[in-house]
Amino acid sequence: MFGERIRQARLLAGLTQDHLAEALSAAGHPATKAVISKYEKNKSTPPASFLLLAARILGVPTSYFTHQPTLGVNWLAFRRHSSLPAREQEAVKSYAADVAELHIELQSLLYPHAAANLPDVVAVDSGEAAEQAAQRLRACWELDAHPIDRLVQTAEDHQVVVVGWNKSTDAFNGLSGWCGQHPITVINTRMNADRRRFTLAHELGHLVMNTSAVPEREAERLAHRFAAALLVPAERAVHELGARRTRLNWDELGILKRKYGLSMSAWIFRAKDVGIITEAYANNLHYQLGERGWRKQEPVDYIADEMPVQLEQMAHHAVTEGLISPDQIRRVYPEWTETLPVSVSSEHLTIYDLLAMPEAERERVMGQAFARAAGDEFETFDAFDEMDFNDAAC
């Protein structure tokens, strides 16, 4: 029962079985790798003392070990660097599945009639088809051809579950899949804002395109094409750069990056894909990027709030309304922190304070106020008349 959850918590903490055994022993609970392996494989039941200490070491509440997920995710694509260890890949998937389940549970409590808003999946085997798929998503979301402000939050508004992973840097980019009818995406929130946008756009491509007819490498290329087309439609690329160019200016590309949230490197690919520049010139520009040391860090940053927010908002909403307990949130989302409740100790609460309270709390406070007021004597005032207002204006 506890085994898989102990293993998930250990992977999330980035520890091997040896590391966990050493930490437990140092804390006064002698353990070996073999013992931990038996616990994780459910060949032996860990004592309560082990669970309490392991929870502290791994940074999770003890309730994390007893939670048994009920929903599974069918993962479609995993964008990662070859250096990403297999155990970290498993950690990403386990964490994302847990958070997605919580997200869906909160969504069903707060917005029971909400449904994901994505176009039907279509078969895609060419760059032109990927461009068309991107335009279908823009039309579905009623976006015009101009830059998309906050793509992450736009996706969340259309009921796409966006999970943020912040435990690795360049080794992991993104992941996507389905949990029943719920689209799930995972992005590395340690990346720059423009890379987060592109990664999410790429994963959205996997959700709305069926590329099973082409090799995996080509499927990834088509998802890249989809992402660039979603962020910068072909007509906008031509509008900004012109139909044909023999030279591009680095400052110009930097300005377009800040405007559209698409990296300078991706803008070069976009100009080549749309036919604005030749493939030979695009290759030359990418060579220059490398020569200038701009492949990993471009000279211009895109500043935007491209972070998932819906889960945090729903968690605070549900806890404040008493629909779910803080422990239920933390058992699958350990880093969530509960904010302080609205203070009701003041005798001078404003109407905004009252409206911010849960209904039951608001009724209690107002009841106390009415009870105190019942014994008070109030001075009677005559109503204002026109003469009063005229006097005040003098």
How is the chain split into domains, by residue range? 3-68, 75-291, 340-394
Q: Which residues contact 160 (CB under 8 A, 6 or more apart)?
A: 116, 118, 183, 185, 204, 207
Give the Cα-Cα-Cα angle 234, 299, 243 (nearest 5 degrees).
Answer: 25
Tell me, what's the pLDDT at 301?
95
Confidence (pTM): 0.78
- What are the phi and psi torsion angles at 293 (to 5°)? 75, 30
Nearest CA-CA partner of 336 in 155, 133, 99: 99
Local structure of residue 183 (DSSP, 8 states) = E
Question: Which of 67-71, 189-193, 223-227 shows the lowest mean pLDDT across its residues?
Answer: 67-71
Mean pLDDT of 32-47: 88
pLDDT tens-digit map of 238-281: 999 999 999 999 999 999 999 999 999 999 999 999 999 999 99
232: confidence class by pLDDT, cuts 50, 70, 90:
very high
Cβ atoms 6, 57 nearer than 8 A: no
pLDDT, tens digit, 9 for 90 and up, residues 57-94: 888 888 788 777 777 889 887 766 656 777 778 888 88
Tokens 């490498």, residue? 217
118-132 average pLDDT score: 97
pLDDT of residue 211: 95
pLDDT band at 393 (very low <50, low <70, confident <90, very high): very low
Length of the chain: 394
Q: Is residue 175 helix, strand or coil? A: strand
If DSSP codes are grouped into helix, strand and coil, which group holds residue 348?
A: coil
pLDDT (tens digit per residue) in 346-371: 455 666 566 556 666 667 777 776 66
Which band of pLDDT confidence, cut at 50, 70 and 90, is reported for residue 388? very low
**Which among 11-15, 239-243, 376-380 has the top mean pLDDT?**
239-243
| Residue 348: per-residue pLDDT | 57
137 and 118 in contact (C-beta within 8 Å)? yes
User: Closest Cα to residue 85, out of 36, 34, 16?
Assistant: 16
Whether pLDDT at 381 is above 50:
no
Q: Which of these, 122, 103, 106, 109, lies nearest to 183 by C-alpha position?
A: 103
CATH of 3-68, one of 3.40.50.300, 3.30.2310.20, 3.30.70.2190, 1.10.260.40: 1.10.260.40
Q: Are the beta carbons of 199 and 188 closer than 8 angstroms?
A: yes
Alpha-carbon 27 to chain mean position: 35
More confidently predicted of 41 and 346: 41
